[in-house]
Amino acid sequence: MTTAAHSSPAVQEEPVRVPPHDLEAERSLLGSMMLNRDAIGCVLSTIARNESAWFYRPDHRKLFEFLLDMYDDDQPMDLVVVRNELQRRNLLDEVGGVPYIIRLAESVGSWVNAEYYARIVRDKGLLRDVIRAAGQIAEDAYAEAENTGILLDKAEQRLFDVTERRVSGQAVTLSDLVCQINEQLQTRGDQYLTGLPTGFYKLDELTSGFQPGDFIVVAGRPSMGKTAFGLSVAEYMAVNDHRPVVFFSMEMSKMQVGHRVLCSRSRIDSQKVRRNRLNDEDERLIADTCHQLKDAPLYIDDTPGMSILELRAKARRLKVQHDIQAVFVDYLQLMHCPGMAKEGRQQEISLISRGLKSLGRELDIPIIAMAQLNRAVEQREGNRPRMSDLRESGAIEQDADLVLLLHREEYYHSPDRVEEEVRGKAELIVAKQRNGPVASIKLVFDRHCTRFDNLSPVPESGYIPPSGRDDAPF
What is the per-residue DSSP string for 203-270?
Answer: HHHHHSSBPTT-EEEEEESTTSSHHHHHHHHHHIIIIIS---EEEEESSS-HHHHHHHHHHHHHT--H
Same domain, 110 and 235: no
Pair (121, 28) in one structural domain: yes
Q: Which domain holds residue 135?
A: 18-171
* 154 shares its domain with 211: no
pLDDT in tens, 312-355: 878 888 887 888 999 999 878 888 776 666 667 777 788 788 88
Residues annotated as catalytic (active site), given as ranges: 251
The per-residue DSSP string of 397-440 comes to: HHH-SEEEEEE-GGGGS-GGG--TTTTTEEEEEEEEETTS--EE
Domain match, 441 and 348 both: yes
Ranges 36-40, 129-133, 269-273, 455-459, most confident: 129-133
116 and 230 both lie in a single domain: no
Query: Given pLDDT bands bounded at 50, 70 and 90, which one contains residue 462?
Result: very low
Query: Residue 284 is part of a domain; what is its CATH number?
Result: 3.40.50.300
State whether 147 and 211 are in the same domain.
no
Determine if the pTM surpasses 0.85. no
Q: Is residue 179 part of a domain?
A: no
- pLDDT tens for 30-88 read 888 888 777 787 787 678 777 888 899 888 988 888 888 887 776 777 788 888 888 88
What 1-10 contacts at long range (C-beta under 8 Å, 24+ apart), as own/partner pairs, is: none
- Rounded to whole angstroms, how far apart are CA atoms 323 and 107? 41
| Judgement on whether residues 331 and 210 belong to the same structural domain of the protein | yes
- Residue 189 confidence class, pLDDT cut points 50, 70, 90: low
* 301 in the same domain as 248: yes
- State the pLDDT confidence band at 245, using cuts at 50, 70 and 90: very high
Last residue of a domain, one of 110, 136, 171: 171
Domain count across the chain: 2
**pLDDT band, residue 436 (cuts 50/70/90):** confident
Nearest partner of 434 among 216, 239, 276, judged by Cα: 216
Cα–Cα distance measured from residue 109 to residue 111, given in angstroms and rounded to the nearest whole number: 7
Tens digit of each residue's pLDDT (9 = 90 or more) over 259-293 = 888 888 878 777 777 777 777 777 787 888 788 78
Q: Is residue 281 part of a domain?
A: yes
Concatenated DSSP letters of 37-90? HHHHHHHTTTS-GGGGGGSSSHHHHHHHHHHHHHHHTT---SHHHHHHHHHHTT
